[in-house]
Amino acid sequence: MPDPPDREFIAALPKCELHLHLEGSLRPDTMFALAQRHGIELQRSDLEQRYDFSNFDDFLQLFLLGLRVLRTGEDFTDAIVALGRELGEQNVRYAEVTTTAFSHHRRGLAMSEYAAGLNAGRRIARERYGVDFGWVIDIPREIEGPDSRFTLDYVTGPNAPDGIVGMGLGGPEPGNPPEPYAPLFAEARAAGLRSLPHAGETEGAASVRGAVEQLGAERIGHGVNAIHDDEVVELLLERDVHLEVSVSSNVALKVVPDVESHPLPRLLAAGLDVGLNTDDPAYFSTTLNDELELVANTFALTRKDLVDLQRAAFRASTLPEDRRRTELAALDAIPV
């Protein structure tokens, strides 16, 4: 019988993460330092209490605080470098990180400064920690409607940051279905970007169907509610759509009542292409290593199962084919 995965095995595993929000990666030390930089009054003890939230409203307030402290290009660089250090310590080789340009534009940040901050942070993270980043710029559907072209024009324009790999659709799903955004995603795909929307997190399988059929989604952020509709499951299988699953996030935001109720085993048993992610790791007090350990212990996953989750993520990424082959070969060499 093969050895079960332990922390040492998990720590050494080469990793890829595809669903991670930059604005949700600010650990208390980073948040506090940025707040002090900008004279935002914030007690360290109060800040740490904010990270221990029990409902979506508290989570939202913490997320909004994170937006408040990201005011300059230097702030973005520092946040990205801190994230790069954290991922490098976990042997994460590559991450596609979502960030919401419209939210920062709306607060008055010059998009040239935003791009410069992302570019500098990406370069430093690679040089210091060996972590490569690709950017997913998402449309925040609750504040940027389908008639706006801001995000589309930014990600396809000459002033976008280096390393953009796709356009996403984030924000609350209820009352904001994906279908009206179809023309914007068609243009993004025609420009060579991947369609990478959130769907099926707080809405049902119909949201996933809309994202796949109307937005041409190649990956779905979350997508866990697809499991409740056999036809949508079949659609995902036919189109080879990857699901970016984030277990701790789903528990924290009450998508599922507890870890044991999470549909991850059902998604895998259905043959769906699934990777494991952290979503907002700082705010959910998790890491990719933690998530792998959590699912291994909860669902009795084997070493091979964990390797397969990473293999699925690398395959679903936008890495160049030669780099993808290198990373997959490293996984193939791991004894399971």
Q: Looking at domain 7-316, does it have CATH number 3.40.47.10?
A: no
Using the structure block, give the residue that is written with the tokens 């702030």: 75
CB 106 within 8 A of CB 67: no
Taking Cα atoms as reference points, which of 292, 272, 273, 290 lies closest to residue 281? 290
Specify the pLDDT at position 43. 77
The CA distance from 151 to 100, in Å, is 9
Q: What are the backbone angles phi and psi of residue 156, rounded to the nearest 5°?
A: -105, 0
pLDDT of residue 49: 77
In angstroms, what CA-CA distances link 235 with 200, 209, 218, 221, 299?
A: 14, 8, 12, 16, 26
Tokens representing residue 217 in the block: 């989604």
Q: Which residues belong to the active site?
A: 201
- Structure tokens that stand for 266 in this block: 């059902």
pLDDT for the residue 1: 53
Quote the percentage of the chain above a pLDDT of 70: 99
Task: Please tell me the least confidently modeled range out of 12-16, 67-71, 218-222, 290-294.
Answer: 67-71
For 82-95, write each residue's pLDDT tens digit: 999 999 999 999 99
Distance CA 126, CA 94 (A): 10
**pLDDT bucket at 311, cuts 50 / 70 / 90:** very high
> Nearest 5°: CA angle at 284, between 59 and 279?
95
Of 245, 231, 154, 167, which is closest to residue 201 (Cα–Cα)? 245
Contact predicate 71/40, CB 8 Å: no
Measure the N-to-C terminal CA separation of the chain; round to a whole number of Å. Answer: 10
Convert the pLDDT of each residue in 135-180 to its tens digit: 999 999 999 999 999 999 999 999 999 999 999 999 999 999 999 9
Segments making up each domain of the chain, as ranges? 7-316
For residue 194, which amino acid is it?
R
**Any residues with CB less than 8 A from the CB of 97 and at least 6 apart, and which?**
20, 21, 22, 25, 80, 83, 133, 134, 135, 136
Give pLDDT, residue 3.
73
pLDDT digits (tens, 9 = 90+) for 24-53: 999 989 988 998 999 988 777 777 778 877
Radius of gyration of the chain (CA): 19
pLDDT at 248 over 60: yes
CB 260 within 8 A of CB 247: no
Q: Tell me what the mean pLDDT of segment 96-122 comes to.
A: 97
CA distance 67 to 300: 38
Sequence letter at residue 272: L
Distance CA 96, CA 121 (A): 14
Nearest CA to 170 out of 76, 280, 57, 28 is that of: 280
**209 pLDDT more than 60:** yes
User: Could you give the strand order of the β-sheet that contains 164-170, starting from the edge strand earlier in sequence?
Assistant: 15-21, 92-99, 132-140, 164-170, 194-195
For residue 198, the surrounding DSSP H or E stretch is strand 198-199
Q: State phi, psi for 63 to the nearest 5 degrees.
A: -60, -40
